Amino acid sequence: MADYIGAIDQGTTSTRAMVFDHDGSVVARHQVEHRQILPRAGWVEHDPDEILRNALLVAGEAFQGYQIRALGVANQRETTVVWDRRTGTPFGNAIVWQDTRTDRIAEALNRDGRGELIRHKSGLRPATYFSGGKLQWILEHVDGARDAAERGDALFGTIDTWLLWNLTGGRVHATDVTNASRTMLMDLETLDWDDELLACFGVPRAMLPRICPSSDPSSYGHTTEGIALTAALGDQHAATVGQVCFTPGEAKNTYGTGNFLLLNTGTEPVRSEHGLLTTVAYRFGSAPPVYALEGSIAVTGAAVQWLRDRLHIIGTAAECETLAARVPDNGGMYFVPAFSGLFAPYWRADARGAIVGMSQYDTDAHLARATLEAICYQSRDVVEAMQQDSGVTLDVLKVDGGVTANDLCMQLQADILGVPVSRPMVAETTALGAAYAAGLAAGYWNDTDELRANWHESHRWKPTWSPQQRAEGYQRWHDAVRRSLDWIEIGA
For the chain, the helix, strand and coil percentages under 3-state DSSP, each to the nearest 5: 35, 25, 40
Rg over CA atoms, the chain = 21
Distance from C-alpha of 372 to C-alpha of 330, rounded to nearest angstrom: 10
Contact 399, 375 (CB under 8 A): no
Q: Which residues contact 246 (CB under 8 A, 6 or more apart)?
A: 264, 290, 448, 451, 452
Would you say 16 is a known binding-site residue? yes
Q: Confirm or deny that 133 is annotated as ligand binding.
A: no
Q: Are 320 and 463 contacting, i.e. CB atoms less than 8 angstroms apart?
A: no
**Distance, CA of 468 to CA of 266 (rounded, Å):** 35
Distance in Å from the first CA to the final CA of the chain: 61
Amino acid sitting at position 195: D
* HSE, side-chain direction, 13 A CA sphere, residue 6: 26
Dihedral Cα 176, 234, 18, 455, nearest 10 deg: -100
Q: What does the pLDDT read at residue 489?
A: 80
300 is in an annotated binding site: no
Tell the burial category of 195 from Cβ atoms under 10 Å away from its Cβ (0-12, 13-18, 19+): exposed
What pLDDT, on a 0 to 100 scale, did the predictor assign at position 118? 94
Alpha helix (H) ranges present in 391-466?
407-417, 429-442, 448-454
Residue 37 φ/ψ, nearest 5 degrees:
-100, 120
pLDDT digits (tens, 9 = 90+) for 287-344: 999 999 999 898 999 999 999 999 999 999 999 999 999 999 999 999 999 998 899 8
**Alpha-carbon torsion 330, 314, 375, 302, what sign?**
positive
> Is 12 marked as binding a ligand?
yes
Q: Is 301 annotated as a binding residue?
A: yes
Tell whether 102 is in a known binding site. Answer: no
User: Is 189 annotated as contributing to ligand binding?
Assistant: no
pLDDT less than 50: residues of the chain? 1
Give the Cα separation of 219 and 231 in Å (integer).
Answer: 8
Residues contacting 422, CB < 8 A, separation 6+: 396, 397, 398, 399, 457, 459, 460
The response to whether 468 counts as a known ligand-binding position is no
CA distance 53 to 15: 10
- Determine the pLDDT at residue 491: 56
DSSP-derived 3-state class of residue 68: strand
305 is in an annotated binding site: yes
Q: Confirm or deny that 452 is annotated as ligand binding.
A: no
Question: Is 77 labeled as ligand-binding?
Answer: yes
Span 379-425, pLDDT tens digits: 999 999 998 998 888 888 999 988 999 999 999 999 999 999 999 99
**Predicted pLDDT of residue 451:** 96
Give the span between the Cα atoms of 453 and 437, in whole angstroms: 15
Residue 313 has what pLDDT?
Answer: 94
Does 13 show up as a binding residue in the annotation? yes
Q: What are phi and psi of 293, to 5 degrees?
A: -95, 135
Is 235 labelled a binding residue?
Answer: yes
